[in-house]
């Protein structure tokens, strides 16, 4: 494991309670420098609390926190200029104009980005004089991202950076995050979007009930396991099919007419399934072999639907 001072964020056995509720329950994770780390989890899993402890907004009730090797509360003065923060929502006065607020935050830093160029890059150039409350939800999100980046930080925390964005804006944000990593910025983000984590993150940490339930690169998490899916008429005798398959295989129909076969998916297994279908006069449609997605892993681990 990387020593805490060499990582962007190092959390060890972090605990945070609100009254009787334990929001973060012994969470440990390491986010590498110049890497994109995604915290993935259902609502209420403790992602935002964890991020806010890293930002120095909340104090942990237990465990240790190191951000760029420093304590977010005790070393706040040294840390703030080096860290960019994009909160989940708000943080800008409703009457403040977009460009005005960005220029303010820029002027609090020693070597900021050019606010006008940053607005332009985020598609907000024509809204520079628009009051924050008149911006659409997606525009507010982009301004908030700009505010997090304008001080040229070496680490940024992005709390749900693409929630509420349309597909174009989401892709543009993803490109910007990729550029940040290429420029040597460490990024820690939270998300509900599997696609976002899969596309952006070097390291995905799946959090549920305030704990880490799995972590690794997207490839490591989804593993080498493959699965076979096909559509056919509903109500096939799956017990009979299973008997023909190698031990350890599993088959299920859900929803009706949609079949999933899991196990050691090799050419022989594919041949067995198609032969069994042929012998029962079943014509399969949409037959495909695929890797598990991050979403499959996520649902398996957290046992619940994503509520985004």
Partner 1 sequence: MTASSPAPRLDLTPAPGAAPPAKMIAAQTRYELVALLRNGEQLLLTLIIPVVLLTLFSATSLLDLGPGKRVDFLAPGVLALAVMSTAFTGQAIGTGFERRYGVLKRLGATPLPRSGLILAKTLTVVLVEALQAVVICAVALALGWSPHGDPLSVLALLLAGTAAFSGFGLLMAGTLRAEATLAAANLVYVLLLAVGGVIFPLDKFPAPVRSALELLPISALADGLRQVLQHGAALPGKPLLVLAVWAVAGLVLAARFFRWE
Residues at the contact surface with partner 1, assessed by CB under 8 A: 55-57, 77, 80-83, 85, 87, 89-96, 100-101, 104-105, 107-111, 113, 117-118, 120-123, 147, 149, 151-154, 168-169, 172, 175, 179-180, 183-185
**In Å, what is the CA distance from 61 to each residue of 22, 52, 83, 244?**
10, 13, 23, 55
Q: Which of 43, 107 has the CB closer to partner 1?
A: 107
Q: Which of 90, 246 has the CB closer to partner 1?
A: 90
Q: How many CB atoms lie within 10 A of CB 235?
A: 9
Q: Which of 104, 86, 224 is nearest to 156 (CA)?
A: 86
For residue 240, the minimal CB distance to partner 1 (Å) is: 52
For residue 100, the minimal CB distance to partner 1 (Å) is: 7
For residue 6, the minimal CB distance to partner 1 (Å) is: 16
Contact 186, 156 (CB under 8 A): yes
Q: Which of 45, 143 has the CB closer to partner 1?
A: 143
Q: Which of 44, 131 has the CB closer to partner 1?
A: 131
Q: Which of 187, 228 has the CB closer to partner 1?
A: 187
- CA gap 282, 268 in Å, rounded: 19
Q: Which two tokens stand for residue 137?
A: 């939800």
Whether the ω angle into residue 51 lies within 30 degrees of 0, i.e. cis, is: no
Contact 91, 143 (CB under 8 A): no
For residue 106, the minimal CB distance to partner 1 (Å) is: 9
DSSP 132: G
For residue 45, the minimal CB distance to partner 1 (Å) is: 21
For residue 285, the minimal CB distance to partner 1 (Å) is: 35
Q: Which of 232, 234, 216 is nearest to 224 (CA)?
A: 216
Question: Cα-flanking dihedrals φ and ψ of residue 121, to 5°?
Answer: -60, -35
Q: Which of 90, 303 has the CB closer to partner 1?
A: 90
């Amino acid at each position: 494991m990387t020593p805490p001072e060499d990582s962007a964020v190092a959390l060890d056995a972090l605990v945070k309670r609100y009254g009787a509720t334990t929001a973060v329950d012994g969470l440990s994770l390491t986010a590498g420098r110049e890497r994109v780390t995604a915290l993935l989890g259902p609502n209420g899993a403790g992602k935002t609390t964890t991020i806010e402890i890293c930002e120095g907004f909340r104090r942990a009730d237990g465990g240790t926190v190191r951000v760029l090797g420093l304590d977010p509360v005790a070393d706040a003065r040294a840390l703030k200029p080096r860290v960019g923060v994009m909160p989940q929502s708000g943080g800008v006065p409703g009457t403040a104009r977009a460009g005005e607020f960005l220029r303010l935050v820029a002027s609090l830093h020693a070597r900021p980005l050019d606010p006008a160029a940053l607005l332009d890059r985020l598609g907000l150039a024509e809204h520079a004089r628009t009051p924050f409350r008149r911006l659409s939800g997606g525009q507010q999100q982009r301004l908030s991202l700009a505010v997090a980046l304008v001080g040229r930080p070496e680490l940024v925390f992005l709390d749900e950076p693409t929630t509420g964005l349309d597909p174009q804006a989401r892709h543009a944000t993803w490109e910007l995050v990729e550029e940040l990593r290429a420029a040597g910025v460490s990024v820690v983000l939270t998300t509900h979007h599997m696609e976002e984590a899969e596309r952006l993150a070097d390291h995905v940490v799946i959090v549920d009930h305030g704990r880490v339930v799995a972590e690794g690169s997207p490839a490591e998490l989804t593993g080498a396991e493959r699965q076979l899916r096909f559509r056919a008429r509903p109500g096939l005798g799956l017990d009979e099919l299973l008997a023909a398959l190698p031990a350890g295989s599993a088959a299920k129909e859900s929803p009706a007419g949609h079949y999933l076969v899991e196990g050691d998916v090799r050419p022989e297994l594919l041949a067995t399934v198609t032969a069994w279908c042929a012998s029962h006069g079943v014509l399969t449609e949409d037959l495909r072999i695929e890797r598990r997605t991050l979403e499959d892993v996520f649902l398996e681990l957290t046992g619940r639907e994503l509520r985004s």
